Chains A and B, each alone.
Chain A
Amino acid sequence: MAISVKLMHRPEPESTSYLRAALSGMALTFKHMVNPTKVTQQYPEEMTDLSPRWRGTHVMEQHADGRPKCVACGLCPTVCPANCIRLVGGEDDQGNRYPIVYEIDEFRCIFCGMCQEVCPVEAIHVGRHFENAEYTRDRFVYDLDRLMEQDHPSTLLWDPSDPSSE
């Protein structure tokens, strides 16, 4: 099949003006300037509303005395599809099982929230936080102390008014 060429019949530049088109475009722009139903979000000056199920970087819950709630059961590294959790369990001086090493690589994390779902003691949570900036890449590997320092609220994973996600 031969290649066909469609000829476009454009007006000659000498015989036409773009003034009318430009004015109609500007009219639309100025109309939006005074539009009361504007949708532009003034982030970061104004924080946007996040979904209650928003999943951001992690938080480790702790007991009143500052110990992590984690019992190093090993379910979160097992279930993690991105393999971003490193856990070494041990026993503390009171005979409790606890994580000697607990690290989450937030770069590798895909924020699926399965670690929070699987946790039998509700220790690890994905949080409602997403604004992460660091000067070095290795700062994105959160260790246990860093995870316990996080003070942002944790996600609800489910909408409380719609627990079965219908």
Chain B
Amino acid sequence: MAEMVNLTIDGHEVAVPRGTTILEAAKTIGSEVPHYCYHPGMSSPAMCRLCLVEVEGAPKPMPGCVTTVMEGQVVNTQSEQALSNRRGVLEFYLVNHPLDCPICDMSGECNLQDYVHDEGREHGRGREPKRIFGRDDFGGDVLFYGDRCVMCTRCVRFMSEVEQDHRLTVVERGNRSVIDTFYDEGLDGTNWHGNIVDICPVGALVSKDFLHKARAWDLTHTPSVCTSCSQGCNIDLHTRDNLVQRIKPRENLDVNAWWICDHGRHNYEWMNRGDRLEAPVMRSDSGSQAMGWGDALRALLEKSDGGGSVKAVASAMSSNEDLGALKALVDAMGGGEILYRSARAEDEVPLRGFPLLARRKDLSANSTAADLIGANRVGADDGTGGLDEVSNHDGIVLVLNDDLADQKEDFGNNASLFVYLGTHDSPGAAKADLVLPVTSHAEGEGTFTNHERRVQRFAKALDAPGMARPAWLVLGALVAEKGEGPAPRSAADAFAAMSSSVAAFAGITWDDLGTRGAVLNESVSVTGD
């Protein structure tokens, strides 16, 4: 336990570990000191001069982001002097800031907008023309509006300290200083530069992908987990009109801190696909027949009786609950093999400044859980092949969320019953005897298990189309019909059912997961790789 220091901030007595900055100590009593250059994930140059606070006994205001607390210190962050400091500093920022909020993408989540609204002067006094830089394309996904920049240099420090690829710098001095790239190199080829758009406190760095797409106040933020690799970065899905508009990182110091990679950031279009399966469809010699869920599940149970042995193809993109329910159903049908396919990248893409985080080789969100339920990974590293045995299987074939795009036309022709649970219209859905529409990752609740066996929850961000239902609900109902326990009513029920049947998940409850996730018991070995 670190040595604690007692001090008074805004009249509240607080005790914080020695070495804590005043700014962080003030956060513990809920007093937010405005700041630009300070970011908890990077060094503090104390150059924005906005976090100046009044320390009693000190001859002049102290920058809260670098001044560490001292025993008996009395700090005022909201006193007359502190407020007048900030009002003055903010007025200096507005000398050159263009006030183009109506056309700025940051409007609504801009720190300058918020601070000036809260504490700034009501009217500007500037008469001189503002300096004009115009717009610069930094390469990659980033546009730079130099006029809006407040010179906090968070972006420069992110590239040099966190990504450790020195692509940005400050050129010129004083009034003319501006962020720039080296020659024409730009940000192309870097893998984490999307984060500089997140940490920019104003609208100087904006995403090309999100440019003019939606206003910040129209977006609904839903906590979720990235599906682009097995790292399991915590993200927020920003949605509007039932479409995902962008992905932003969500802070979790155990997994991804404040950062996510550019690949994951831009991999959301699949959640907005329109070619969805919307109703259960039974296919027979006389044609296709759409039906309700009750009829579809009854038909499935009827046909599966005496249908022979089961082979299942799972997807490593499915949640723990879906995989657990699939495993339970396969067991209830007499047991059988579960296979899954998962693409692997050649190399990891590490983030040098935060060693816990890398874009992992395993490009599926949930291969760990697939391994833990006893599924076997098959196929090549590009996620294709390996299903020849299932293709010719003469018993029951269950496919969950694998589109089977690489499979031949005769996949499942020999099967006594070929059931396909999927989200999108796909080659697999075109061949199956029974097609059951399930929800996608963004449309349901659930958990993923990441590469270090951390189980993390994600929430429902979009409304599912038509009659699509979560796979755990469908599979759980079938398991219950087979007489193996009650049908799950919520993702928490499905998780509880899984943790009671899969050894590795034993002892972890839905409530343990919280917002940070919980790591599974290490002693249980993983099958496969």
Q: How near does chain A come to B167, taking the closest CB pair, in angstroms?
A: 24
Is the Cβ of A73 less than 8 Å from the Cβ of B107?
yes
Q: For residue B107, which residues in chain A have a CB less than 8 angstroms away from its CB?
A: 73
Q: How near does chain B come to A67, taking the closest CB pair, in angstroms?
A: 14
Q: For residue B211, which residues in chain A have a CB less than 8 angstroms away from its CB?
A: 91
Number of residues in A with C-beta < 8 Å to the partner?
Answer: 14
Is the Cβ of B103 less than 8 Å from the Cβ of A74?
no
Q: For residue B166, which residues in chain A have a CB less than 8 angstroms away from its CB?
A: none
Residue from A91, A95, A120 in contact with B102 in the complex, judged by beta carbons closer than 8 Å = A120
Interface 9-residue window, one of B35-43, B212-220, B407-415 = B212-220
Where the two chains meet, the residues of B that have a C-beta atom closer than 8 Å to any C-beta of A are 101-103, 107, 135, 211-213, 215, 217-218
List 5 A-B pairs, Cβ < 8 Å. A73-B107, A89-B213, A91-B211, A97-B103, A97-B212
Closest 7 CB pairs of A and B: A73-B102, A74-B215, A89-B212, A97-B103, A120-B102, A71-B103, A71-B102
User: Per-residue 0/1 for A125-161: is the Cβ within 8 Å of any B Cβ (1 yes, 0 no)?
Assistant: 0000000000000000000000000000000000000
Is the Cβ of B212 less than 8 Å from the Cβ of A121?
no
Q: How near does chain A come to B514, taking the closest CB pair, in angstroms?
A: 34
Is the Cβ of B103 less than 8 Å from the Cβ of A95?
no
Report Cα–Cα, A71/B211, bound state, in Å: 13
Query: Is the C-beta of A75 less than 8 angstroms from some C-beta in chain B?
Result: yes
Query: Is the C-beta of A90 less than 8 angstroms from some C-beta in chain B?
Result: yes
User: Per-residue 0/1 for A108-123: is the Cβ within 8 Å of any B Cβ (1 yes, 0 no)?
Assistant: 0000000000001100
Q: By CB atoms of chain A within 10 A, which of B101, B103, B135 has the most?
A: B103
Residue from A89, A95, A121 in contact with B135 in the complex, judged by beta carbons closer than 8 Å = A95
Is the Cβ of B212 less than 8 Å from the Cβ of A72?
yes
Report Cα–Cα, A78/B219, bound state, in Å: 12
Report Cα–Cα, A121/B101, bound state, in Å: 11
Q: For residue A71, which residues in chain B have a CB less than 8 angstroms away from its CB?
A: 102-103
| In the complex, residue of chain A having the shortest beta-carbon distance to the beta carbon of B135 | A95
Q: By CB atoms of chain B within 10 A, which of A89, A90, A96, A121 has the most?
A: A89
Q: Find residues 82-115 in chain A having any chain B CB closer than 8 Å to their own CB.
A: 89-91, 95-97
> Taking A72-B212, A73-B107, A95-B135 as contacts, is the C-beta distance between A78 and B218 under 8 angstroms?
yes
Residue from A78, A90, A91, A121 in contact with B215 in the complex, judged by beta carbons closer than 8 Å = A78
User: Per-residue 0/1 for A29-61: is the Cβ within 8 Å of any B Cβ (1 yes, 0 no)?
Assistant: 000000000000000000000000000000000
Where the two chains meet, the residues of A that have a C-beta atom closer than 8 Å to any C-beta of B are 71-75, 78, 89-91, 95-97, 120-121
Report Cα–Cα, A120/B104, bound state, in Å: 13
Is the Cβ of B218 less than 8 Å from the Cβ of A75?
no
Extra 20 A-B pairs, beta carbons < 8 Å, given A74-B218, A120-B101, A120-B102: A71-B102, A71-B103, A72-B103, A73-B101, A73-B102, A73-B103, A73-B107, A73-B215, A74-B215, A78-B215, A78-B217, A78-B218, A89-B212, A89-B213, A90-B212, A91-B211, A95-B135, A97-B103, A97-B212, A121-B102
| In the complex, residue of chain B having the shortest beta-carbon distance to the beta carbon of A99 | B212
| In the complex, residue of chain B having the shortest beta-carbon distance to the beta carbon of A89 | B212
Q: For residue A75, which residues in chain B have a CB less than 8 angstroms away from its CB?
A: 102
Q: For residue A78, which residues in chain B have a CB less than 8 angstroms away from its CB?
A: 215, 217-218
Q: How near does chain B come to A54, taking the closest CB pair, in angstroms?
A: 27
Report Cα–Cα, A20/B102, bound state, in Å: 73
Report Cα–Cα, A73/B101, bound state, in Å: 8
Q: For residue A96, which residues in chain B have a CB less than 8 angstroms away from its CB?
A: 103
Report Cα–Cα, A90/B101, bound state, in Å: 15
| In the complex, residue of chain B having the shortest beta-carbon distance to the beta carbon of A121 | B102
Q: For residue A121, which residues in chain B have a CB less than 8 angstroms away from its CB?
A: 102
Q: For residue B218, which residues in chain A have a CB less than 8 angstroms away from its CB?
A: 74, 78
Q: How near does chain B come to A140, taking the closest CB pair, in angstroms?
A: 23
Q: How near does chain A come to B478, taking the closest CB pair, in angstroms?
A: 42
| In the complex, residue of chain A having the shortest beta-carbon distance to the beta carbon of B99 | A120
| In the complex, residue of chain B having the shortest beta-carbon distance to the beta carbon of A97 | B103
Q: How near does chain A come to B240, taking the closest CB pair, in angstroms?
A: 11
Q: For residue A72, which residues in chain B have a CB less than 8 angstroms away from its CB?
A: 103, 212
Q: How near does chain B come to A124, taking the closest CB pair, in angstroms?
A: 12
Q: For residue B103, which residues in chain A have a CB less than 8 angstroms away from its CB?
A: 71-73, 96-97
Q: For residue B213, which residues in chain A have a CB less than 8 angstroms away from its CB?
A: 89
Q: How near does chain B come to A120, taking the closest CB pair, in angstroms?
A: 5
Report Cα–Cα, A75/B102, bound state, in Å: 8
Report Cα–Cα, A121/B211, bound state, in Å: 20
Report Cα–Cα, A95/B136, bound state, in Å: 12
Report Cα–Cα, A91/B104, bound state, in Å: 12
Q: For residue B135, which residues in chain A have a CB less than 8 angstroms away from its CB?
A: 95
Q: How near does chain A come to B109, taking the closest CB pair, in angstroms?
A: 13
Is the Cβ of B212 less than 8 Å from the Cβ of A91?
yes
Q: How near does chain B come to A26, taking the closest CB pair, in angstroms?
A: 65
Q: By CB atoms of chain B within 10 A, which of A72, A74, A75 has the most?
A: A74
Report Cα–Cα, A71/B212, bound state, in Å: 10
| In the complex, residue of chain B having the shortest beta-carbon distance to the beta carbon of A70 | B102
Report Cα–Cα, A95/B521, bound state, in Å: 55
Q: For residue B212, which residues in chain A have a CB less than 8 angstroms away from its CB?
A: 72, 89-91, 97
| In the complex, residue of chain B having the shortest beta-carbon distance to the beta carbon of A78 | B217
Report Cα–Cα, A96/B107, bound state, in Å: 16
Q: How near does chain B come to A129, taking the closest CB pair, in angstroms?
A: 26
Report Cα–Cα, A12/B217, bound state, in Å: 76
Report Cα–Cα, A91/B105, bound state, in Å: 12
Report Cα–Cα, A104/B107, bound state, in Å: 23
Report Cα–Cα, A161/B102, bound state, in Å: 30
Report Cα–Cα, A17/B213, bound state, in Å: 80
Q: By CB atoms of chain A within 10 A, which of B102, B211, B215 has the most?
A: B102
Q: For residue A91, which residues in chain B have a CB less than 8 angstroms away from its CB?
A: 211-212
Q: How near does chain A come to B157, taking the closest CB pair, in angstroms?
A: 29
Q: How near does chain A come to B119, taking the closest CB pair, in angstroms?
A: 22
Report Cα–Cα, A74/B212, bound state, in Å: 10
Q: For residue B101, which residues in chain A have a CB less than 8 angstroms away from its CB?
A: 73, 120
Report Cα–Cα, A136/B306, bound state, in Å: 61
Q: For residue B102, which residues in chain A have a CB less than 8 angstroms away from its CB?
A: 71, 73, 75, 120-121
Q: For residue A89, which residues in chain B have a CB less than 8 angstroms away from its CB?
A: 212-213
Q: How near does chain A come to B440, taking the closest CB pair, in angstroms?
A: 24
Q: For residue A73, which residues in chain B have a CB less than 8 angstroms away from its CB?
A: 101-103, 107, 215
Q: How near does chain B come to A142, taking the closest CB pair, in angstroms?
A: 21
Report Cα–Cα, A29/B211, bound state, in Å: 69
